[in-house]
Amino acid sequence: MFQFSGFNMMFPEAGRSFKASYKCFSVSMLPGNERQDVENGGKIIMPPSALDSLTRLNVEYPMLFKLINNKKGRTSHAGVLEFVADEGKCYLPYWMMDNLLLGEGDILTIESVSLPVAKFSKFQPHSTDFLDITNPKAVLENALRNFACLTTGDVVAIKYNKKVYELCVLETKPGNAVSIIECDMNVEFEAPVGYKEPSSSRKGQPQEEEPQDHVMEEVVETFKGSGVRLDGKKKKDNQLDAPVIKKILARGVPDYDYSFGYLKFDRSIKPISDRVADIDAAPTTQESFQGEGFSMKKSRK
């Protein structure tokens, strides 16, 4: 190994950090097609010259960076997605620029760092709408796949079902900034901003079910027409068919006695207008047979 003026001429010094300043812009200013993968994650786009410098400096992988806004004194951390930006420019998700209080074209200092692997993180949603998600941990885990690191105090934005949810990173362990690449991290949620717990008086008392009025209506079920005896004689008064009155739920009224897992398809129900007409109409006796009768045997004269 050759030495000259105290410097190593064969290999560059390992562990040297990368530091550069760029004009930052939001992802919407990136030329070409819309890049939702960048907007919905926690990674930035840097110029190709940055990749050349990083490879020569022998920076640790994965590449993680500290973002510094010197004017406002704000810092955050991010990973890098691609090195395709124009020289002297870098592109950030809009929520990241909002955290750093950056405007379009402001100067941003980027410095390479090494962060510990995350073990614990705590989030607080900024809206109670986040409680409507069935499995928030699974949704957050899927969204964090597009992130490389987390910083305590940042407000990250995740997209789910075409809606953007903002969550504040309240705590991270073992440090204020952690790497979440290939890690086993425990996640907890704080109550959303604006959430109000039910009063203690209501907690101890069981909720009384409101009485539900079952709207029933009477339906007359009977055969149309009158019955006829086989011997041709008329039926007696006590043999007349009495109408059967049955009570059923009115159409359009929910079945409050419904049991979970049981489906009932009742196609015998008539519209209410038809039922009322049948009830109001007076029962009329109809002759079963009309016309003259004929005998198959010829009568003898």
**Contacts of 42 by beta carbon, 8 Å cutoff, 6+ apart:** 78, 79, 93, 96, 146, 147, 148, 149, 150, 156
* Amino acid sitting at position 165: Y
Type of residue at 229: R
Per the CB < 8 A criterion, the answer to whether 122 and 170 are in contact is yes
Task: Determine the pLDDT at residue 293.
Answer: 74
Instruction: Please give the pLDDT value at position 77.
Output: 93
Is the fold of 19-112 the same as that of 120-189?
A: no
CATH for 120-189? 3.10.330.10
Contact 197, 130 (CB under 8 A): no
- Tens of each residue's pLDDT in the chain, 301 residues: 334 444 443 444 445 789 999 999 998 888 877 777 788 889 999 999 999 999 888 888 889 999 999 999 999 999 999 999 999 999 999 999 999 999 999 999 999 999 999 999 999 999 888 888 888 889 999 999 999 999 999 999 988 888 889 999 999 999 999 999 988 899 999 988 888 877 665 555 555 555 445 556 666 665 556 667 777 777 666 655 566 666 665 666 666 677 777 777 766 655 555 555 555 555 555 666 677 777 777 766 5
pTM of the model: 0.59
Query: For residue 112, what pLDDT is reported?
Result: 92
The class level of CATH for 19-112 reads mainly beta
Which residues does residue 279 pair with via DSSP β-bridges, in sequence order? none
Residues making up the chain, counted from first to last: 301
Rounded CA-CA distance 38/117 in Å is 23
Instruction: Please tell me the predicted confidence (pLDDT) of residue 7.
Output: 40
DSSP state at residue 185:
-
Strand partners, 8: 3
Domain ranges for the chain: 19-112, 120-189
Tokens of 83: 């090195």
Which pair of structure tokens corresponds to residue 296? 């198959």
